[in-house]
Amino acid sequence: MTALFVTHDLDEAVYLGQRVIVLSSSPTVILEDLKVDLPPERDQPTTRSLPRFGELRGHVYRQLQRAGDGR
């Protein structure tokens, strides 16, 4: 089963997703299709404390900043 989940919450995207797709502003193009390489079994306190969670969140944040700048 595949589900598409749209969110503006970075933590939610990284925590829930297997992939995070970062889109540009208009005209919309895919800037990045990022594989979320966190353990498949997740609980919030443990997952959010993982160094990799912080790395992924930071990466997505920088991509969103870049998208907002039009680069």
pLDDT tens for 7-36 read 999 999 999 999 999 998 888 899 999 999
Any domain includes 55: yes
Any domain includes 2: no
Structural domain including 51 reads 10-68
Q: Assess whether pLDDT exceeds 70 at residue 71.
A: no
Q: Which residue has the tokens 């609980």?
A: 43
- Domain count within the chain: 1
pTM: 0.86
Any domain includes 4: no
53 within 8 A of 14, measured Cβ to Cβ:
yes
> What's at 29, amino acid-wise?
V
